[in-house]
């Protein structure tokens, strides 16, 4: 095994371990990195004897520790992660738009969840009991966070 192949195996193993620490969870990539490093050290041991294998192991350990330390210290991995934040809201019902006792109609079937239109606005709703077909009149019983509790009226 040539020294070039030994170096490639060890460097690729170190790269996989750095990826495991920074990006990829689950230990599979890190385990593969360790296997590549051990293959490189074993190749150095066969090619250059015990002293060469031990020196290769020490150098690999130092290079690996330095690579992980520098990756964490420089923050290069932050360029690989998302920094955007979701600012959207989930169907919040503004105060004063709808109150208990308001009437509207079902836009979709309520079985028990669906969409209703009350006071000209669309809302997600849950029917108190039973099923409500589309276009059937409903009455608001309560506002429950981001949806309405309704019942069918005749």
Query: Of the ranges 39-43, 70-74, 75-79, 97-101, which one carries the lowest mean pLDDT score?
Result: 75-79
Alpha carbons 154 and 152: distance in angstroms, whole number: 7
> Residue 138 in contact with residue 103, Cβ under 8 Å?
yes
pLDDT of amino acid 71 = 82
pLDDT of amino acid 95 = 78
Residue 54 in this model has a pLDDT that exceeds 70: yes
Alpha carbons 149 and 139: distance in angstroms, whole number: 9
Residue 148 in this model has a pLDDT that exceeds 70: yes
pLDDT category of residue 77 using cuts at 50, 70 and 90 = low
pLDDT of amino acid 89 = 61
pLDDT digits (tens, 9 = 90+) for 13-48: 999 998 888 888 788 999 999 999 999 999 999 999
Does 25 or 115 have the greater pLDDT score? Answer: 115
Alpha carbons 80 and 145: distance in angstroms, whole number: 36
Domain ranges of the chain: 3-80, 103-152
- Report the CATH number of the 103-152 domain: 2.40.50.140
């Amino acid at each position: 095994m040539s020294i070039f192949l030994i170096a490639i195996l060890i460097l690729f193993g170190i790269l996989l371990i750095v990826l495991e620490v920074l990006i990829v969870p689950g230990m599979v990539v890190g385990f593969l990195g360790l296997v590549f490093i051990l293959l490189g050290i074993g190749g150095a041991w066969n090619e250059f004897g015990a002293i060469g294998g031990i020196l290769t192991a020490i150098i690999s350990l130092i290079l690996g520790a330095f690579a992980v330390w520098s990756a964490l210290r420089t923050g290069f991995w932050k360029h690989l992660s998302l920094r955007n934040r979701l600012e959207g809201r989930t169907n919040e019902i503004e105060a004063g738009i709808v109150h208990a006792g308001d009437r509207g109609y079902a836009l979709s079937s309520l079985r028990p969840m669906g969409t209703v239109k009350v006071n000209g606005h669309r809302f997600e709703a849950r029917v108190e009991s039973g099923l409500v077909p589309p276009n059937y009149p409903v009455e608001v019983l309560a506002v429950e966070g981001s949806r309405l509790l309704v019942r069918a009226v005749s």
